């Protein structure tokens, strides 16, 4: 399984602001979008282009062009929505699905409450969005739902990942590629990523 961690001074700089508990909602949202955009560029390195002929102001030429209709973004609600604007800026014609999940505060297991994806999802490359890959439970459920619809190629984009979540995906879905801005140390007893950045959904939407 491929795990790609962004290693760049500017990403570390942005993460330093994102992690800071004093960072406000507006700045937090902006940074989530910016980092998501970079992650999307990285995850598209293997994209296949179709040769088309265009005419520049100087001459005609052949050049590669992406068929954006072949892609779909699927944010895991609600925190995944914070990443959507960033990736849509990269592939504006990609379709968008939604998977609604929340974590049971007693069992720490994900509970599914909503699932809607575009028609023909099985023909598209699907990129799942969730800022935090913690236990991996929500990610596994999302991947299972998409595979049940016939999706063959899935990538998972997150801002922060815990080793435990990566290992769980690797064990159950080794064909899924993970792209993250940083791999953190571990999960604490409450299954939060350490050092992490807190509850991404609450910080994106200002609910705490």
CATH number at residue 189: 3.40.50.2020
Of 23, 29, 78, 202, which residue is the catalytic one? 202
Average pLDDT, the chain: 94
Q: With a threshold of 0.85, does the pTM exceed it?
A: yes
Higher-confidence residue: 40 or 1? Answer: 40
What integer pLDDT is reported at residue 1 of this predicted model?
63
What integer pLDDT is reported at residue 195 of this predicted model?
96
130 is catalytic: no
What is the C-alpha separation between 181 and 23, in angstroms, rounded?
18
Nearest CA-CA partner of 200 in 28, 15, 6, 16: 28
What integer pLDDT is reported at residue 35 of this predicted model?
97
124 is catalytic: no
Fill in the DSSP letter of residue 145.
H
What integer pLDDT is reported at residue 112 of this predicted model?
82
How many domains, in total, are found in the chain?
1
Fill in the DSSP letter of residue 134.
S
Tens of pLDDT, residues 154-201: 999 999 999 999 999 999 999 999 999 999 999 999 889 999 999 999
Residue-range definition of the domain harbouring residue 155: 3-205
107 is catalytic: yes
- Res. 104: pLDDT tops 90: no
> Crossing angle for the helix pair 137-148 and 163-172, nearest 10 degrees?
30
103 is catalytic: yes
Q: 79 and 29 in contact (C-beta within 8 Å)? A: no
Of 19, 20, 103, 130, which residue is the catalytic one? 103
């Amino acid at each position: 399984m491929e795990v790609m961690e962004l290693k760049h001074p500017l990403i570390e700089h942005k993460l330093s602001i994102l992690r800071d508990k004093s960072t406000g909602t507006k700045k937090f949202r902006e940074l989530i979008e910016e980092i998501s955009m970079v992650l999307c560029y990285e995850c598209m390195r293997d994209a296949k282009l179709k040769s088309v002929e265009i005419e520049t102001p100087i001459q005609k030429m052949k050049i590669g062009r992406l068929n954006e209709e072949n892609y779909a973004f699927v944010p895991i609600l609600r925190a995944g929505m914070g990443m959507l604007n960033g990736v849509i800026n990269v592939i504006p014609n990609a379709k968008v699905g939604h998977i609604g999940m929340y974590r049971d505060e007693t069992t720490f297991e994900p509970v599914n409450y909503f699932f809607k994806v575009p028609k023909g999802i099985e023909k598209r490359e699907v990129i799942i969005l969730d800022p935090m890959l913690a236990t991996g439970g929500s990610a596994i459920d999302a991947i299972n739902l998409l595979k049940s619809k016939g999706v063959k190629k899935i990538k998972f984009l997150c801002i922060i990942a815990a080793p435990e979540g990566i290992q769980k995906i690797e064990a159950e879905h080794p064909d899924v590629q993970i792209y993250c801005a940083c791999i953190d140390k571990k999960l604490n007893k409450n299954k939060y990523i350490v050092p992490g950045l807190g509850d991404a959904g609450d910080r994106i939407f200002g609910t705490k």
